Amino acid sequence: MYSLRVFVTIALLSCHVAAWWSPTIDEEIDKKTVYIDASCETKDYEGGAFANGWFHALGSSHEVIERVASHNDHDYHAVVKRIMKRVVSDEDDETQLDEIMKYFEQLSVLSIIDSLKDADIRIFCDDDAVSTKENPNTRMVFVGNDRLEDRYNFMAINIRDSCRYVSADAFTVIGHYRIQTLWNGQTAHGQKSERMVISICKRGLQPMQPPFNRYWQGGMMTQQLANDYGINWMQNTAAHIIVHELMHALSDGQIFDLPNAAAAYGWRNVENMDQMHAEENADSYAFMADAALLAPDWTITRLWAPPGCPPNVVERETSAKFGQLAHYADRSRPTKRMVLRSTGNETEQSIRVRSFLEADPRFIMAMDEDSGISRP
Ligand SMILES: [Zn+2]
């Protein structure tokens, strides 16, 4: 048994020799500016939810970067694999990881400026109050048929893409699709031609029915919430909404809601998504940020179950698919505690199962769990 353990340790170490994603040096990050409209303060329907969301959106981007770059955060790497279907230590996935991480890096260095005109991204929380062409006194003006004009940003908006006509918490308007001939193709009053406009709708900042919350702070997740809602509890937080919208904006619309509005949101969709869709889907990024915020207290039940696993293992896989959360004793150290604990009462079958698990380093990593029970 000991010789087998040595073999497994060597196999794990050899994994670490491979290329690893590392953060881009600061000077090479494409730095963007953001203007946050006063409405995000004055029309923050659950007072402070926007600020809480902004703080955690930025904070989570730093966490994501640190955790992906870490060489021993097997916990978070398993989450990345589950969401993006990419292996952090795999050379073949390096280019795509660069692409994915690029946006978290841009988010982490976003700077707030006071000038709407100069900002790459503009954020409003004015709930798209709409006035008429005859008496225009709001940002959005109804100009007939299904068209609105955004007077501040010089954009034409389809009514379907506004807070008033869809049941979205927020939406992002991609500049170059919407700056139309209306303004003779000019960038209008010296504004940035690639400007992005995020509107956080009233319903994205309103108080929710308990147990949900717009706010996030460490310690809010409980065993009950983890069992009942898992990581999905996070998707209504202002932080989740802001990361989601910023990904649309930072990527210039390359990150979309895929494969379609019905199948783009929520953990189940994100978890089920194929590799190609995942890296272009905003909610996939938002869940990466959520998972980083939940650490180190909670993480997605981490079991990658190969075919032929015993029923209790497959059951854990199902719970991960539903986004259920668990406590882990040590997110950095791959241990075989759970496997070894079960050796007290060995049968021919248990020995066979253990050998099977121990032969696969990925699976041993997945066993880095302290029985899924809360730490003190
Ligand atoms: Zn979206």
Instruction: Give distance in angstroms: CA of 25 to centre of ligand 1.
Output: 29
Instruction: Give distance in angstroms: CA of 155 to centre of ligand 1.
Output: 19
Residue linked to tokens 């978290």: 104
Is residue 219 included in any domain, yes or no? yes
Q: Looking at the 3D structure of the chain, how many domains does it have?
A: 1
Is residue 2 included in any domain, yes or no? no
- Ranges of the chain whose pLDDT falls below 70: 1-19, 176-188, 302-315, 328-376
Is residue 209 included in any domain, yes or no? yes
**pLDDT at residue 184, rounded to an integer:** 55
261-299 burial, b at 16+ Cβ within 10 Å, e below that, comes to eebbbebebbbebeeebbbbbbbbbbbbbbbbbbbbbbb
Instruction: Give distance in angstroms: CA of 129 to centre of ligand 1.
Output: 21
Is residue 184 included in any domain, yes or no? yes
Is residue 253 included in any domain, yes or no? yes
Is residue 255 included in any domain, yes or no? yes
Instruction: Give distance in angstroms: CA of 323 to centre of ligand 1.
Output: 20
Is residue 332 included in any domain, yes or no? no
**pLDDT at residue 160, rounded to an integer:** 84
Instruction: Give distance in angstroms: CA of 281 to centre of ligand 1.
Output: 8
Instruction: Give distance in angstroms: CA of 263 to centre of ligand 1.
Output: 11
Instruction: Give distance in angstroms: CA of 295 to centre of ligand 1.
Output: 24
Is residue 353 included in any domain, yes or no? no
Separation between Cα atoms, residue 309 and residue 237, nearest integer Å: 36
**pLDDT at residue 125, rounded to an integer:** 96
**Secondary structure letter of residue 59 according to DSSP:** H
Q: In terms of Cα–Cα distance, which of 324, 356, 315, 326 is closest to 339? A: 356
User: Which CATH number is 97's domain given?
Assistant: 3.40.390.10
Instruction: Give distance in angstroms: CA of 321 to centre of ligand 1.
Output: 22
**pLDDT at residue 155, rounded to an integer:** 86
DSSP for 27-49, please give it. Answer: GGS---EEEE-THHHHT-TTSSH
Dihedral angle of Cα 123, 126, 132, 134, to the nearest 10 degrees: -80
- pTM of this structure: 0.81
Instruction: For residue 183, give its domain range.
Output: 31-298
Cis amide leading into 210 (omega within 30)? no
Residue linked to tokens 């225009």: 136
Instruction: Give distance in angstroms: CA of 264 to centre of ligand 1.
Output: 8
Cis amide leading into 361 (omega within 30)? no
